[in-house]
A and B are shown apart, each in its own frame.
Chain A
Amino acid sequence: MPQYMLLMYGDPAAGPAEGSPEAQAEFGNWMAYSQAMGEAGAMKSGDALQPIATATTVRVRGGERVVSDGPFAETKELLGGYYIIEATDLDAALDWAAKAPHIEHGSVEVRPVITFG
Chain B
Amino acid sequence: MTREADARDAAGRAVREEGPAVIATLARHVGGDVGLAEDAVQDALVAALQTWPRDGVPRAPGAWITTTARRKAIDRLRRERTLADRTAVLAHLLSLGDDADQDLEAMTDTAMDDRLRLMFTCCHPALGIDARVALTLRMLGGLTTAEIARAFVVPEATMAQRLVRAKRKIAAAHIAYRIPAPHELPDRMTGVLAVVYLVFNEGYAASAGERLGREDLGAEAIRLGRLLVALMPDDAEAIGLLALMLLHDARRAGRVDAAGRYVPLDEQDRALWDRAAIDEGVATLDRALRLRRPGAYQLQAAISALHTQTPTATDTDWPQIAALYGRLARLAPSPVVDVNRAVAVGFADGPAAGLRVLDPLLADGRLDAYQPLHAAHAELLRRAGRVDAARDAFTLAIDLTANAVERIELERRRAALDAVTG
Contact = CB atoms under 8 A, between A and B. Distances in A.
Partners in one complex: yes
A112 B184 CA distance: 22
A57 B173 CA distance: 29
A90 B84 contact: no
Contacts of B124: 90
Given A2-B174, A90-B173, 10 more contacts: A2-B173, A88-B176, A89-B174, A89-B175, A90-B126, A90-B174, A91-B175, A112-B173, A115-B85, A116-B83
A92 B178 CA distance: 12
14 contacts: A2-B174, A89-B174, A90-B126, A90-B173, A90-B174, A90-B175, A90-B176, A91-B175, A91-B176, A91-B180, A92-B176, A112-B173, A115-B85, A116-B83
Interface string B348-385: 00000000000000000000000000000000000000
Interface of B: 32, 83-85, 124, 126, 172-176, 178, 180, 184
A117 interface: yes
Nearest to A92: B176
Contacts of A110: 173
A117 to B, nearest CB: 3
Given A90-B126, A94-B126, A117 B84 contact: yes
A42 to B, nearest CB: 14
Contacts of B126: 90, 94
B327 to A, nearest CB: 31
Contacts of B184: 91
B83 A117 contact: yes
Nearest to B83: A117
A92 B174 CA distance: 10
Interface of A: 2, 88-92, 94, 110, 112, 115-117
Nearest to A116: B83
A72 to B, nearest CB: 23
A115 B172 CA distance: 10
The 7 closest A-B pairs by CB, nearest first: A117-B84, A89-B176, A2-B174, A112-B173, A89-B174, A90-B173, A90-B175
Nearest to B177: A89
A89 B121 CA distance: 12
Contacts of A117: 83-85
B83 A112 contact: no
Contacts of B84: 117
A115 B173 CA distance: 12
Query: Which one of A91, A110, A112, A115 has the highest number of Cβ atoms from chain B below 10 Å of its Cβ?
Result: A91
A44 to B, nearest CB: 16
A110 B172 CA distance: 12
Nearest to B84: A117
A2 B184 CA distance: 21
A94 to B, nearest CB: 7
A58 B126 CA distance: 33
Contacts of A89: 32, 174-176, 178
